[in-house]
Amino acid sequence: MKSTTLFALFLLCALTSSYLPSATADVVLDMDGNPLGNGWQNEYFMLPVTRGSGGGIALAATGNERCPVTVVQSHIERDKGYAATFRAPFHLPFIAEGLPLTISFDNFEVLPRCVPTPLWWAIVDGLAEGPAVKIEYRDIVEGWFKIQKAYPLGYKLLFCPVPLEDSTCGDIGIYTDDKGFRRLVVTKNKPLVVQFQKFDPLAKNNLVLPASE
């Protein structure tokens, strides 16, 4: 029992030392130029950099699903979708590029009541569209998400399966199915490039972009 515990601690230390941000790692910035907060009470909309290519990130019921558990991009450009929380497994105030992350939807006031909780993003394999982003599903691929700079004003999400090696990471991109759902899937070199907008619980029309934006 003691040796098993020591081995588990060794693996945790190895992960921590390998994925702590270096002195040169850039902090991820939101649309206002502020660092992306790590964890609870830090929620962000993910909005596409390219206008005319859809709205924010939301949930949909696809296939035979009775409840929306498939992570999609809204086809409505002004729809911000759901705000997401990014968590790194370190006691850091901000998210830096390359950190291993979990992603979840935490604003239960606007989420469908039938969805399972917690609403952690997961990569599900064995689907027709390839590895796709779902919440609380079977056949989950173990791994972490991370954020990387893509354009001067944008970022991309990646998924890295265990073991965590950069060569095995795939971009999170879009697959449009025959029903028109823009599903988030793992792709090679076809990322959805986004900006992060901080969720303001006091703002009016928080889920809809103004027509002028």
pLDDT tens digit string along 119-170?
Answer: 899 999 988 888 999 997 788 999 999 999 998 889 999 999 988 676 789 9
User: What is the pTM assigned to this prediction?
Assistant: 0.84
pLDDT band at 203 (very low <50, low <70, confident <90, very high): confident
Q: Which residues contact 73 (CB under 8 A, 6 or more apart)?
A: 48, 54, 55, 56, 57, 58, 81, 174, 182, 184, 192
Domain boundaries 25-198, corresponding CATH code: 2.80.10.50
Distance CA 86, CA 96 (A): 11
Q: Are 27 and 182 in contact (CB under 8 A)?
A: no
Distance CA 193, CA 156 (A): 5
The string of pLDDT tens digits covering residues 7-62 is 333 344 444 444 555 545 799 999 999 999 999 889 999 999 988 889 999 999 99
Q: How many CA atoms lie within 13 A of 189 on its CB side?
A: 1
Q: Is 5 exposed, middle or buried (0-12, 13-18, 19+ CB in 10 A)?
A: exposed
